[in-house]
Amino acid sequence: MIPFCNVYSSFMQRAYDMVIHDVALQNLHMVICLDRAGLVGEDGATHHGVFDLAYLRPIPNLIIASPLNELDLRNLMFTGYKEADAPFVIRYPRGKGEMSEWRNEMTVLPIGKGKKLRDGDDVAVLSIGSIGNEVTKAIEMVKDSGISVAHYDMIYLKPLDEDILHEVGSRFKRVVTVENGVVKGGLGSAVVEFMADNGYTPRVKRIGVPDTFIE
């Protein structure tokens, strides 16, 4: 039996010690579904799930993923059940999904592999989670400006898709990271660390929740 634990992202903050000692340290195979991840609007300041990527990323053994839409959410739940041999965390936002065609056969999303949604030459945008849909809209808005934008859906924060990051680091001088979570410690920080560790020197602009509490 593989347990699924469903909990609000903000409530998981209170269970941090349990995640480390009772799950990750023992490397237990379970799936943790973090609902209300990111900014949650009318639920209020205490329910914003903006810290999860940053506070979970340093914990050994965890696999951390965030879907672009509800089809990917189903597939990540299937992947966590079928393919993982470690704690598998899926974070997703409050609200309705971005896709309606969810009645498809479930497929495995390879652990630690992202997707190139669009190729470009001038700037690379790396996003994680459903906020990637807003990135797609933004790219459409600037497509006639002469800026050629590549867009990568990272899917996994941990392990990162190093093939994508090597491609981005070697091809692009300008990189933008986008996440619905705190800028400090999340995807943007992970990308900056990778670039520094591997000798790449792009200018990286991190977009996310600033270092302040959001009302």
State whether 73 and 124 are in the same domain.
no
At residue 72 the predicted structure's pLDDT band, cuts being 50, 70 and 90, is: very high
Check whether residue 204 and residue 124 sit in a common domain.
yes
Domain containing 41 equals 4-91
Sheet of strand 156-158, all strands in order from the earlier edge strand to the far edge: 4-8, 31-35, 88-91, 63-65, 156-158
Give me Rg for the CA atoms of the chain.
17
Per-residue tokens: 166: 């090597």
Ranking 52-61, 97-106, 156-165, 170-179 by mean pLDDT, the lowest is 97-106
What does the pLDDT look like over 187-201, one tens digit per residue?
Answer: 999 999 999 999 999
Q: What is the pLDDT of residue 40?
A: 80
Mean pLDDT value across the chain: 93
- CATH number of 71's domain: 3.40.50.970
Residue 57 has a pLDDT of: 98
Residue 113 has a pLDDT of 98
Q: Is residue 182, in this structure, part of any structural domain at all?
A: yes
Q: What is the pLDDT of residues 7-53, one digit of tens each?
A: 999 999 999 999 999 999 999 999 999 999 878 877 677 878 899 99
Q: What domain count does the chain have?
A: 2
Task: State yes or no: pLDDT of 99 exceeds 70.
Answer: no
Q: Give me the pLDDT at residue 211, please.
A: 86
| 78 or 144, greater pLDDT | 78
The share of the chain scoring above pLDDT 90, in percent, equals 80
| 110 in a structural domain | no
Cβ neighbour number for residue 212 with a 10 Å cutoff: 7
Q: Please give the pLDDT value at position 38.
A: 79
Instruction: Please tell me the predicted confidence (pLDDT) of residue 214.
Output: 81
The whole-angstrom separation of Cα 7 and Cα 68 is 19
Q: Does the residue 97 lie in any domain? A: no
Q: Has residue 137 got a pLDDT over 80?
A: yes
Query: Where is the domain boundary, 91, 125, 158?
Result: 91
Q: Give 98's pLDDT tier (boundaries 50, 70, 90).
A: low
How much is the average pLDDT of 61-86? 95
Give residue 151's pLDDT.
Answer: 98
CA distance linking residue 80 with residue 10, whole number of Å: 22
Structure tokens at 206: 């991190």
Is 73 part of any domain? Answer: yes
Lowest mean pLDDT among 20-24, 105-109, 126-130, 171-175: 105-109
Contact 32, 3 (CB under 8 A): no
Does one domain contain both 119 and 205? yes
CB 161 within 8 A of CB 64: no
What pLDDT shows up at residue 101?
66
